[in-house]
Structure 1
Amino acid sequence: MEYEFETHPSDNRDECIPLYAGIDLSYTDIRSDSFSVQHEALEHIMQINYCRTGQVAWKTQNGNSIFLNPGDFSVHTLDTCMDSSFRFPTGQYQGLTICIDLRETSAHPPELIAETGVFDGLLREKFCQNSTISFLAGNEYSESIFSSFYDQPEKLKLPYQRVKVLELFLYLAQMEFSSQNRLTEYLPEQIELVKAVHDQFLQHMEQRITIEKLSKQYLINPTTLKTVFKAVYGTSLAAHIKKHRMERAAKMLRETDMSVAEIAAAVGYESQSKFTAAFKNQFAVPPRAYRKPQ
Structure 2
Amino acid sequence: MKIDDIIRKCIEIPGISIKRSDFSAELLMKAKEGKGAMTFFPLFPGLTIAYIFVNSPTWAAPNFCEDSSIEKGPLLLNYCVTGRCEIILNNENFVYVKDGEISLTERFAQKQYVYPRRIYEGMEFFVDTDTLTAESAWIQKEFGIDFHKIIELFCPNGNTYISTVAPEVEEILTKLWGLLDIAPPFSIFQMKVYVLALFSLLQSLNDIPPSQACTFFTETQVEIAKRVEKIITSDLRQHHPAWELAAQFSVSETSLKNYFRGVFGQNISIYLREMRMKKAADLLTTTKLSVATIAEKVGYMNQSKFASVFKKQFDMSPLEYRRHKTLDLQKNYRIREYPNI
Taking structure 2 as the reference length, the TM-score comes to: 0.71
Match for residue 3 of structure 1?
Answer: 4
Alignment partner of 1:59: what SS?
strand
Paired AA for residue 138 in structure 1: T
The 2-side partners of 1:59 and 1:182 are apart by 15
Paired AA for residue 3 in structure 1: D
The 1-side partners of 2:274 and 2:45 are apart by 46
The 1-side partners of 2:235 and 2:109 are apart by 42
- The superposition leaves residues 221-246 of structure 1 with CA deviations (integer Å, 9 ceiling, x where unpaired) of 33322221122112232221111001
Taking structure 1 as the reference length, the TM-score comes to: 0.81
Alignment partner of 2:108: what SS?
coil
Query: Cα distance, 1:177 vs. partner?
Result: 5.6
Q: Which among 271, 274, 277 is matched to residue 308 of structure 2?
A: 277
Paired AA for residue 225 in structure 1: L
Match for residue 199 of structure 1?
Answer: 230
**Distance change (3 Å), C-alpha of 1:258 and 1:182:** same
The 2-side partners of 1:261 and 1:177 are apart by 53
Q: Percent identity?
A: 24
Query: Cα distance, 1:288 vs. partner?
Result: 0.5
Please tell me the root mean square deviation across aligned C-alpha atoms, in Å: 3.2
Paired AA for residue 129 in structure 2: L
| Residues 100-249 of structure 1: pairs in structure 2 closer than 5 A | 100-103=127-130, 105-106=132-133, 107-109=137-139, 114-115=143-144, 117-119=145-147, 121-130=148-157, 132-139=158-165, 141=167, 142-151=169-178, 154=182, 157-158=187-188, 161-173=191-203, 174=205, 180-182=211-213, 184-249=215-280
The 2-side partners of 1:203 and 1:103 are apart by 50
| Higher mean C-alpha displacement, 177-186 vs 86-95 | 177-186
**Distance change (3 Å), C-alpha of 1:242 and 1:159:** farther
Higher relative contact order (CA 8 A, sep 6+): 1
Match for residue 100 of structure 2?
Answer: 71
Paired AA for residue 253 in structure 2: P
- The superposition leaves residues 34-93 of structure 1 with CA deviations (integer Å, 9 ceiling, x where unpaired) of 32124685968422122222322211335342222222332233xx32865323333343
Consecutive unaligned residues of structure 2, counting only runs of 5 or more, are: 17-28, 30-35, 328-341
The 2-side partners of 1:210 and 1:69 are apart by 27
Is the 2:88–2:110 contact (alpha carbons within 8 Å) kept by the matching residues of 1?
no
Alignment partner of 2:228: what SS?
helix
Alignment partner of 2:275: what SS?
helix
The 2-side partners of 1:208 and 1:175 are apart by 48
**Distance change (3 Å), C-alpha of 1:146 and 1:289:** same
- The superposition leaves residues 106-143 of structure 1 with CA deviations (integer Å, 9 ceiling, x where unpaired) of 5111777x23x533x2112233444x251402245244
**Distance change (3 Å), C-alpha of 1:209 and 1:99:** same
Is the 2:163–2:209 contact (alpha carbons within 8 Å) kept by the matching residues of 1?
no
**Distance change (3 Å), C-alpha of 1:262 and 1:75:** same
Query: Cα distance, 1:261 vs. partner?
Result: 2.0
Q: Which among 79, 85, 89 is matched to residue 50 of structure 1?
A: 79
Runs of 4+ in 1 over 6 A off after TM superposition: none
The number of residue pairs the alignment matches comes to 287
